[in-house]
């Protein structure tokens, strides 16, 4: 790769004077109320015209991210990977996928972002690696009962000739969780466990190499200046080594389920926290913890474990007042005893886009319910997504924003079937549309595909086709439209970053529930009202309107609208 002058300069500075790295923003508790933007690299911006997003593309768009008012970016896995699960099949943590760039370029990107006040969070996937990872290749080559296989879960099959799977654990994607290997002489061999696809063999966390390697990976990226790590599938990582069957109706003693939320996880995350704490500045650990039991969830957030974890309870709720209120209350109550901030997430690279989800009769989110052809009213969905943006951005804690939600992109539901790439789709016998609909390359400018995603003169089309509807949703277009979703998000994030009442953590409900209105006070003098009912409502007393998701009608707050108000203290 040819390096330009800035890169050359930054690289040499970084290499020879580590102490002269640009001074990062210094607030040690930045993560408690940060706005964090999730980048799915493959679909963010393509710098070299091959139709695939890359680090060059991200670097070119850093000013866009600064103007959006975010504090950090989180990159979904950007490492070397065969991309059998969008990069969550990591072949080598110490290399960047060559389609995206190089480690040197990642270092430059981290520095350039910091210079604009943006920290970088990388993704680590401890539950599994790619089947192309050196360890798995060594395990296959070394054969049955070899030490190389002990880093994974290899087992003899059951049945007379080992033809039956070792156990019947369900997969986190539909389909099987075991794949049988073939011995060097061509005979059928042992099976290996994979909670996700066969290309993602599960690691055995009882093995010391597995622990050591991940600790080294954390250091590798902390040494390169990252401000935090997002931990994939964080509650699945430790297994009962006896691999007993899972009884779906049994009540396991807490911490003793065969493969979920086992007590042994806490020890791992404590050692990760110690590593994070040994670095200057605050390096944060963010867990992807899918647990319905919020008390168990909060255990991961004790002061010597993870700093924060994603709160999916809120994201999964339908657009109605009682369910959202309950999720907000439950979240705040669960976090309070451990003193950790809540996180608020409306979507990510796995979830149906809010504009689409909120336009449906059933606006809750559940992987199991995803189907092609669900009737959707995008105008209603867009209106609710705007209100949801203001509601969410006003809650106390950290905010996660998935790329493209700031443009109000809908889920793309008409990707030609032969272009779909997601194992969730394939493994459901093609019944579940999968997650590609929220992973379509972003529209930046212009009236025709690739809408500025790739530079002029690009040699290839975007890796997933963009719909013509993206023409009306480009960044360029929205920047000129004061009523656009982009400008709403910009104003919300900027205000959120400077309003003392929103920066603090105090939150109190105002009025009673069951009114179809969520009405709360933040700090001294900000009040937030969201109308989830069918009738316009009067605004409470206020001295100014700070921000409204859609215009008032005759002085009233219309349905599916949220407003931030200044009140007297
Ligand atoms: C997480 C990721 C998802 C991935 C899975 C397996 O849920 O968000 O994209 O497929 O883990 O790594
Ligand atoms: Ca590219």
Q: Specify the higher pLDDT residue, 293 or 123.
A: 123
Pick from 112-116, 246-250, 296-300, 358-362: least confident: 246-250
Contacts of 102 (CB under 8 A, 6+ apart): 1, 55, 95, 96
- Ligand with the closest atom to the CA of 55: 2
Contact (CB, 8 A) for 380 and 358: yes
Q: Report the pLDDT value the prediction gives residue 250, as an integer from 0 to 100.
A: 83
- Ligand with the closest atom to the CA of 453: 2
| 309 CA → ligand 1 middle, Å | 15
Mean pLDDT of 367-384: 97
Q: pLDDT-derived band of residue 514, with 50, 70 and 90 as boundaries?
A: low
C-alpha 326: how far from chain center: 23
| 5 CA → ligand 1 middle, Å | 37
- Ligand with the closest atom to the CA of 458: 2
| 349 CA → ligand 1 middle, Å | 9
**DSSP code of 119?**
E
Say whether 313 sits in a helix, a strand or coil.
helix
Q: Specify the higher pLDDT residue, 405 or 9.
A: 405
- C-alpha angle with apex 256: 317 to 232, nearest 5 degrees? 50
Report the alpha-carbon distance of residue 288 to residue 368 in Å, rounded. 19
Residues around ion ligand 2, judged by CB within 5 A, are: 46, 48, 50, 52, 54
Q: Which of 83, 85, 290 to mutate to test the pocket of ligand 1 (most atoms within 8 A of CB)?
A: 85
Q: Report the pLDDT value the prediction gives residue 19, as an integer from 0 to 100.
A: 40
Q: Pocket residues for ligand 1 (CB within 6 Å)?
A: 85-86, 88, 125, 196, 232-233, 288, 349-350
What are the b/e assignments for 173-211, b being 16+ CB within 10 Å? bbbbbbebeeeeeeeebbbbbbbbbbbbbbbbbeeeebb
pTM for this prediction:
0.95
* Chain length of the chain: 569
Q: Report the pLDDT value the prediction gives residue 370, as an integer from 0 to 100.
A: 97
Ligand 1 atom nearest residue 88's Cα: 12
DSSP letters of 29-78? TGGGS-EEEEE-GGGT--SSSSSS--HHHHHHTHHHHHHHT-SEEEEPP-
Pairing assessment for the beta strands 154-155 and 178-182 based on DSSP bridges:
unpaired
| 52 CA → ligand 2 middle, Å | 4
Per-residue pLDDT tens for 316-361?
A: 999 999 999 999 999 999 999 999 999 999 999 999 999 999 999 9
CA-based nearest residue to 387, from 529, 540, 537, 565: 529
């Amino acid at each position: 790769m040819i390096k330009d002058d800035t890169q050359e300069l930054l690289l040499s500075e970084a290499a020879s004077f580590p102490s002269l790295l640009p001074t990062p923003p210094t607030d040690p508790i930045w993560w408690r109320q940060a706005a964090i933007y999730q980048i799915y690299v493959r679909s963010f911006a393509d710098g070299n015209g091959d139709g695939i997003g890359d680090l060059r593309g991200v670097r070119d768009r850093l000013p866009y991210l600064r103007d959006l008012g975010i504090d950090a970016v989180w990159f979904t896995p950007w490492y070397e990977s065969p991309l059998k699960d969008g990069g969550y099949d990591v072949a080598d943590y110490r290399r960047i996928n060559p389609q995206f760039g190089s480690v040197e370029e990642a270092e430059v990107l981290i520095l350039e972002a910091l210079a604009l006040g943006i920290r970088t969070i990388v993704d680590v996937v401890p539950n599994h690696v790619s089947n192309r990872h050196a360890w798995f290749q060594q395990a296959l080559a070394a054969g049955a009962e070899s030490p190389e296989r002990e880093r994974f879960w290899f087992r003899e099959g059951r049945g007379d000739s080992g033809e039956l799977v070792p156990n019947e654990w369900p997969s986190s994607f539909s389909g099987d969780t075991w794949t049988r290997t073939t011995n060097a002489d061509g005979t059928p061999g042992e099976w290996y466990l994979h909670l996700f696809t066969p290309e993602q063999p599960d690691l055995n966390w009882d093995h010391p190499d597995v622990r050591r390697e991940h600790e080294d990976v954390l250091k590798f990226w902390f040494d390169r200046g990252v401000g935090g790590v997002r931990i994939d599938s964080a509650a699945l990582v430790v297994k009962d080594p006896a691999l007993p069957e899972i009884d779906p109706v049994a009540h396991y003693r807490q911490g003793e389920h065969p493969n979920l939320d086992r007590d042994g996880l806490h020890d791992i995350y404590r050692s990760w926290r110690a590593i994070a704490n040994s670095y200057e500045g605050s390096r944060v650990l963010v867990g992807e913890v899918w647990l319905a039991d919020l008390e168990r969830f909060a255990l991961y957030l004790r002061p010597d474990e993870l700093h924060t974890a994603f709160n999916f309870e809120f994201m999964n709720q339908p657009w109605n007042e009682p369910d959202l209120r309950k999720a907000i209350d439950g979240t705040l109550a669960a976090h309070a005893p451990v003193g950790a901030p809540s996180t608020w997430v409306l979507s990510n690279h796995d979830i149906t886009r809010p504009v689409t989800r909120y336009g449906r009769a059933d606006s809750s989110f559940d992987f199991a319910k995803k189907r092609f052809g669900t009737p959707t009213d995008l105008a209603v969905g867009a209106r609710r997504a705007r209100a949801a943006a203001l509601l969410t951005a006003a809650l106390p804690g950290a905010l996660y924003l998935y790329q493209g939600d700031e443009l109000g992109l809908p889920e793309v539901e008409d990707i030609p079937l032969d272009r779909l790439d997601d194992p969730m789709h394939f493994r459901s016998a093609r019944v579940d549309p999968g997650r590609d609909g929220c992973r379509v390359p972003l529209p930046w400018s212009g009236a025709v595909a690739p809408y500025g995603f790739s530079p002029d003169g690009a040699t290839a089309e975007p890796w997933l086709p963009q719909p013509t509807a993206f023409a009306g949703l480009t960044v360029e277009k929205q920047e000129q439209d004061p009523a656009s979703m982009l400008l709403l998000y910009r104003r919300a994030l900027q205000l959120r970053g400077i309003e003392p009442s929103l920066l603090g953590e105090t939150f109190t409900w105002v009025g009673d529930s069951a009114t179809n209105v969520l009405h709360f006070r933040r700090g001294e003098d900000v009040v937030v009202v969201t109308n989830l009912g069918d009738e316009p409502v009067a605004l409470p007393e206020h001295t100014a309107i700070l921000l409204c998701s859609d215009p008032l009608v005759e002085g009233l707050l219309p349905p599916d609208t949220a407003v931030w108000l200044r009140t007297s203290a």
